[in-house]
Amino acid sequence: MRLAELSERSGVSTATIKYYLREGLLAPGRQINATTAEYDEEHLRRLRLVRAMIQVGRLPVATVREVLGHVDDDSLGPTIRLGAALWALPQVPEPDTEDEYVQAAHREVGALLDRLGWENAKQLTTISPAYRSLVTALAAFRRLGYDWGAEQLTPYAELMHRTAVLDLDNLEALPSGTERVEFAVLGAILNEPALQALHRLAQEEESARRYGFE
């Protein structure tokens, strides 16, 4: 397809597509002559991913370029490739290791992983942004006087593992490693807010079921 058709099918203006090409977010098309290039379905899929990252995820171009670099790095194994792409997305700051609440949260998360038998997750604690996010959240709970730790989180973690199984099942249905990582990045941008919204809707439903609308 030519640039005009790529623009029409993707809903992205030709000027924006040219900008993405200049910034290296989209691979060049196959050159037909000095002024015309041809694009294919892979360009369309990547363009939709870039658009979601920038317009929905509000990610800066530099971050998008870094994420896409990991998406396209087929020299990495599936776990590291997926992790690198997701870890390049904006994350919470590194928690203060000298803070007593952070130290207590580290112990609680360690106890949680032990209770769950998540030995692989334990190996990623020094580099995983998800681990840091969990530590930061638990430290905040404790700082506010709430005893929220391994015991309370275990049933939630078990539900999240079932969600992760569904996620990986859906990933494995895709034909290529690149598409799987692209889908995971889209999931982080689009599906995680959807799951958060479902969680809140479920809370509203259960609250109304128990207490009515008074």
pLDDT tens series, the chain, 214 aa: 889 999 999 989 999 999 999 999 999 988 888 778 999 999 999 999 899 889 888 889 999 999 989 888 888 888 888 888 888 888 888 888 899 999 999 999 999 999 999 999 988 888 888 899 999 999 999 999 998 899 999 999 999 999 999 999 998 999 888 889 888 888 888 888 889 999 999 999 999 999 998 7
Q: At 31, which helix (H) or strand (E)?
A: strand 30-31
Kind and range of the H or E run holding 156: helix 150-172
| Domains of the chain with CATH codes | 3-76 (1.10.1660.10), 100-211 (no CATH)
Q: What is the pLDDT of residue 24?
A: 92
pTM over 0.85: no
What is the rounded distance in angstroms from the CA atom of residue 127 to the CA atom of residue 58?
24
